[in-house]
Chains A and B, each alone.
Chain A
Amino acid sequence: GAGVSQSPRYKVTKRGQDVALRCDPISGHVSLYWYRQALGQGPEFLTYFNYEAQQDKSGLPNDRFSAERPEGSISTLTIQRTEQRDSAMYRCASSLFAPSPRETQYFGPGTRLLVL
């Protein structure tokens, strides 16, 4: 595809439900990041994949959050037992090679999650 895609674009859920957010990176991109961006804030790092390996998950807020990228392409961020404080824009980004400022991260349009 032309860019990073994410689905769904909007998700409204009730507190306590599980949600799964999908990221489809640019074809061939090795690196994949997940970020959370609250309104009026910059992206906050959640986790990083190099191919299928989750190399850094230090930004995941707690054990209700998990992510996978089983075949090194599409990634899913899962939030279990959602809470209202989980409401935010969740963005993924991909880049061709390993993390480097020279290596442009291409951001997806994001999934806006609202937990009621």
Chain B
Amino acid sequence: QKEVEQDPGPLSVPEGAIVSLNCTYSNSAFQYFMWYRQYSRKGPELLMYTYSSGNKEDGRFTAQVDKSSKYISLFIRDSQPSDSATYLCAMRTNTGNQFYFGTGTSLTVIP
């Protein structure tokens, strides 16, 4: 079983829709949860991070962590064509050096 599971999609939504992206994980020691965005032929770039459980909002993006269910989500409100990319979740323990990435979900926002 992989440490982090993520539905690869692809996901296609109309402009303005609310997008929900999710990951599940198996290691209860994960404490830091991150979302990266990766445009085609580019490296991943950090969007948001959250420590332990709870919500975090940044503009149109909201990250949620439910540690009891080992489930994290990224919501994108009022999605734009420029949001079209692959979204990767990543996780880390308190003490480890390794970041564990999901497979990424490919998102297309149709104008």
Contact = CB atoms under 8 A, between A and B. Distances in A.
Interface stretch (B12-20, B73-81, B93-101): B93-101
Nearest to A59: B98
A108 B43 contact: yes
Nearest to B50: A101
Interface size on B, as a range, is 20 to 34
A106 B45 CA distance: 7
Contact of A107 (B41, B45, B100): B45
Contacts, number: 58
Interface stretch (A11-19, A40-48, A71-79, A80-88): A40-48
A105 B99 contact: yes
Given A40-B8, A109-B42, A110-B43, A99 B97 contact: yes
List 3 A-B pairs, minimum CB-CB distance, nearest first. A107-B43, A42-B101, A101-B49
Contacts of A48: 97-98
